[in-house]
Structure 1
């Protein structure tokens, strides 16, 4: 009987402890919601982390919980960015954000697919291999290390850049351990053979899937035809031949050339002071060789005449991409282009292209336009899918709508609606530390002014109809666009319908 009573007592104490813990976390969440504060305290007041009986922070408040708290915390687009260069030439951008007990570090290298050279896919494969082995840790040890700390590490690779990101609690007992292995991931990858074979097979499977997707085939053909032999034509996923040729030596050579301090931007935001931020950047700087920054990509010339390519694919829908060479990041016309594109095809149901092609004629379920400014001139394109026998009609409407917009610009009502949409959504884009970290990486990589976030709303508000008209006439040339279609030809679609057409 005494043993039974003792067991019941232990169970009760455990249950009571769990209830107390849950109540503490609930109080913290409620305390930090906007409007839930003491008199005289600001909405961005200190976050109270519950403690256990030993005085240590409760580890159950993991990153997922913090993300929920972060969403409930109001942030201003007026972000104070500090910047400096390390001794080896890396650029650092830092924002102190004491409201949330977390740290985001985003390391950006000019090491995207544009640097593939004769081995398409080597940039993406190098970046993906960073977390497969680093220092003395293998892939499983890396995963367990960050998971045990409640931290998250990720890698990303694009045409312009390659990224390594860390999100961790800012408490030194978690932060320092997470950063220690993070430095190794960035600077000392081991590129193990078993991981290389696995990731290469994964990328080869992705190439096979592309052959079964008319949209993927159209996009690949669009970049190849638009950029010719320029770096942006390199397919990020590589080719069957190039993937087979990529070995450990190729990965090491690419990392040695491009993952260097002088080719790096370090974005830091979190509940740490400037001294700690400098220490983080200094450790990255010390572990990497100075190297040389990647050379400029060079100017991309726009098409001088219209061009088109049809890709046969046995589908009832035809995928269409129409576009040309757009603008670089930092182009003075970016704000006018951004507002104009919101009106043309980037604003969802309210856009002109959607109104004409989808709502008025019912030729497509979705149609949109997009500009992708990059280090060199990125693409402008319109994307839609339509029934194969309606392809010519859809293309004609696309051409007339685009030409009319370029020649005449928007209406007053369209301009007002577009500004309202862009300015209304902008605060959400800077509502969390991770969002701001992305902007810091972009600002540093493309050498944008530190006041970019603060001045964005005013710059959008100043855009006029004439600004949009002039910008589009300079950049978009309706008589010299590239048209890619993937699907069945009209005649094939007509035959497949038989005698009775719908």
Structure 2
């Protein structure tokens, strides 16, 4: 039997098993039992044992997101995380990819303002698991940051940034975060800037890696076909060789705007792209569930939301309109977004503001509250119907230090929300008179 056939069989088998996770009954996922401990090197481990299928999912999270950049070196955090996967312990990016494909393993990851994460999905059989973990561990502990790969990726990132600078969605998002957060590190673009990315050197990546990829403070999440003892051994091996850097200071608190900001940006697009908002909440905030349930009614529930009903369905002023809270380590944004014809921009924006003001002033009706709860609770099983989704929750719970019973109490937390709590939370946390508003494609912009 040739190696190409073996490799194809393994990859296909893992794809089939991965798809099988979606077929789990919600009863099988009820009451997720999370075990927690600390490695000898100071990393926290969150583990869910599940032997239903021969697969293991692993994630390791570092406080090494874009908010750890500086304005002068914006982009270093993201390039560091990405290049770690493109050369390690003498292996080229091609060799890393081939060794993973050889055993049907999948390498992935996430990156945002707060954290940098690496993910691995592997079969739990000994040969496949051992080879995949060996490559994964080398990526974490011995990144090479090859000069030629750095030059190639810098050119690719710069080209992407230049392209983004012509797109109204990207322009509005970047302008919104800059206006909302000012000098706070959340204002920094996760991809960096053209000039700062162009200046990134291999030494910058090595310095960032040594400073922010230490074992202390790292969060390991594991779910799948392992025993507690096997999971502990995996976590120890992954973290023992990480840099010995100290736990970093928390991201600074966000200063709330004290006056409105409006920025109008010219663009040749036929539509206006409008964003408006205010700093929202942190992870673990006691107002999270009242704001989440309330926002489902306001603009998070799609076609059943107030904003869609008032601005799109009744008046036909927008192509789309939505709102959301994005909790982060510090106050993440509350954002309302809409797209409309340029000649309708002012009317649409005015109606959005009126709808929001009315919502904050009067709150939700009992009928709206009941429907929102039913939809949120009814949809919750789909949020934990696979090991990969549970892995993301384990990482979030660990990184943001949420209660271990977060998943078990999620639906009851939603059910407990009252109309009075929603009205109180929105009136305290959002100040429309101090909102940031960005209009890209404004016909009167200079």
Structure 1 length as normaliser, TM-score?
0.85
Q: Which residue of 1 aligns with 2:345?
A: 391
Give the one of 14, 20, 27 matched to 1:63.
14
TM-superposed deviation, 1:491: 8.7
Q: Which residue of 1 aligns with 2:38?
A: 85
Q: Which residue of 2 aligns with 1:123?
A: 77
- Aligned-residue RMSD, C-alpha: 1.5
TM-superposed deviation, 1:290: 3.0
Q: Which consecutive unaligned segments of at least 5 residues does structure 1 have?
A: 1-13, 15-51, 53-57, 493-502
Alpha-carbon distance between aligned partners in 2 of 1:438 and 1:156, rounded to the nearest angstrom: 10
Alpha-carbon distance between aligned partners in 1 of 2:29 and 2:316, rounded to the nearest angstrom: 41
TM-superposed deviation, 1:490: 4.8
The 1:132/1:60 distance shift into structure 2, 3 A limit, reads closer
TM-superposed deviation, 1:60: 6.4
TM-superposed deviation, 1:299: 1.5
Q: Which consecutive unaligned segments of at least 5 residues does structure 2 have?
A: none
Please tell me whether residue 231 in structure 1 is matched to residue 146 in structure 2: no
Once the two structures are superposed, what CA deviation does each residue of 1:87-138 show, in whole Å capped at 9, x if it has no partner? 2221110000111110000010100000012311111111110111111211
Q: Which residue of 2 aligns with 1:221?
A: 175
Alpha-carbon distance between aligned partners in 1 of 2:430 and 2:366, rounded to the nearest angstrom: 21
TM-superposed deviation, 1:454: 0.4
Please tell me whether residue 156 in structure 1 is matched to residue 110 in structure 2: yes
- SS state of the match for residue 261, structure 1? coil
Residues 206-215 or 318-327, more deviating: 206-215
Whether the 8 Å contact between 1:114 and 1:231 is mirrored in structure 2 is yes
User: How is 1:181-192 mapped onto 2 (pairs within 5 angstroms)?
Assistant: 181-192=135-146
Q: Which residue of 2 aligns with 1:48?
A: none
Q: Which residue of 2 aligns with 1:457?
A: 411
Whether the 8 Å contact between 2:22 and 2:386 is mirrored in structure 1 is yes
Alpha-carbon distance between aligned partners in 1 of 2:75 and 2:13, rounded to the nearest angstrom: 35
Whether the 8 Å contact between 1:317 and 1:386 is mirrored in structure 2 is yes
User: How is 1:198-217 mapped onto 2 (pairs within 5 angstroms)?
Assistant: 198-217=152-171
Q: Which residue of 2 aligns with 1:132?
A: 86
Once the two structures are superposed, what CA deviation does each residue of 1:266-323 show, in whole Å capped at 9, x if it has no partner? 0000110000110011112211123111211121121111110011111110000000
Q: Which residue of 1 aligns with 2:210?
A: 256
Alpha-carbon distance between aligned partners in 2 of 1:241 and 1:173, rounded to the nearest angstrom: 45
Larger Rg, first or second structure (1 or 2): 1
Whether the 8 Å contact between 1:315 and 1:487 is mirrored in structure 2 is yes
Q: Flag the structure with more relative contact order, 1 or 2, with Cα contacts below 8 A and sequence separation at least 6.
A: 2
Please tell me whether residue 336 in structure 1 is matched to residue 287 in structure 2: no
Alpha-carbon distance between aligned partners in 2 of 1:71 and 1:373, rounded to the nearest angstrom: 27
Alpha-carbon distance between aligned partners in 1 of 2:195 and 2:136, rounded to the nearest angstrom: 33
Please tell me whether residue 107 in structure 1 is matched to residue 60 in structure 2: yes
Structure 1 stretches (4+) deviating beyond 3 angstroms?
58-61
Structure 2 length as normaliser, TM-score?
0.96
- SS state of the match for residue 265, structure 2? strand
Q: Which residue of 1 aligns with 2:277?
A: 323
Alpha-carbon distance between aligned partners in 1 of 2:34 and 2:402, rounded to the nearest angstrom: 12
Whether the 8 Å contact between 2:88 and 2:139 is mirrored in structure 1 is yes
User: How is 1:435-446 mapped onto 2 (pairs within 5 angstroms)?
Assistant: 435-446=389-400
Give the one of 465, 469, 479 matched to 2:433.
479
